[in-house]
């Protein structure tokens, strides 16, 4: 799956979803192979435009993600109406997840629970340690991305990196069953 970020400026492009889905069809690619990410703050800045655009993408079969979740002062009324399938918890909450104070832990645990109750899958951004990956797995987070898994890399280098790991049967640096993704490319490639 290829993940593409849409900016707040794109919300004014009323034909964006049609242009993208037409382009996918022309290249004989499934719309379900694309994930559109829109930041929570962009959604809250222009909620009506965001809702319309996201619904058009969803109707076409494109996967939708709310990026940087927890940083945009969401209205829960809008959050439950959004046709997205994924919530990506911002790395600001993950960074100190293992600290003794515990406030980030409580926030992340609450966000994961809320997202699941609303029917979203959860991706944690910015995983930098094995300890954070284990904590997130225990909290029920389905997917993760961050430097713990891989540093940013070009697409051809990523393919070689993944092939080498598979060829050598080298385990992925992740918690036991946490489904992980490469942080190297803007689009996430899931390793299951």
Average pLDDT of the chain to the nearest whole number: 81
Q: Please state, for a pLDDT cut of 90, what percent of the chain lies above it.
A: 34
Beta bridge partners of 24: none
Q: Can you name the CATH fold of 2-191?
A: TIM Barrel (3.20.20)
Asked if 149 and 174 touch (Cβ cutoff 8 Å), the reply is yes
What is the pTM for the complete model shown?
0.78
pLDDT at 141: 94
Quick check: 116 pLDDT over 70? yes
Quick check: 49 pLDDT over 70? yes
What strand order describes the sheet that includes 121-125? Answer: 2-6, 34-39, 63-69, 86-89, 121-125, 143-145, 179-181, 190-191
pLDDT at 75: 61
pLDDT at 41: 82
**Domain residue limits, the chain:** 2-191
């Amino acid at each position: 799956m290829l993940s593409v970020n849409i900016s707040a400026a794109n919300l004014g492009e009323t034909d964006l979803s049609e242009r993208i889905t037409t382009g996918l069809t022309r290249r004989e690619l499934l719309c379900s192979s694309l994930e559109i990410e829109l930041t929570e703050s962009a959604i809250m800045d222009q909620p009506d435009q965001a809702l319309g655009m996201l619904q058009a993408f969803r109707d076409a079969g494109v996967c939708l993600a709310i990026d940087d979740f927890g940083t945009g002062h969401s209205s829960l009324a809008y959050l439950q109406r959004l046709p997205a399938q994924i919530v990506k918890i911002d790395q600001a909450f993950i960074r100190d997840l293992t600290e003794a104070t515990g406030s980030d832990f409580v926030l992340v645990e609450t966000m994961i629970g809320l997202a699941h109750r609303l029917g979203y899958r959860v991706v944690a951004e910015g995983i930098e340690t094995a300890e954070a990956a284990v904590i997130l797995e225990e909290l029920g987070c389905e997917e993760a991305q961050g430097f713990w898994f891989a540093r940013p890399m070009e697409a051809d280098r990523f393919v070689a990196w993944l092939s080498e790991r598979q060829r050598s049967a080298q385990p992925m640096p992740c918690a036991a069953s946490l489904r992980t993704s490469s942080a190297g490319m803007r689009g996430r490639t899931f390793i299951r």
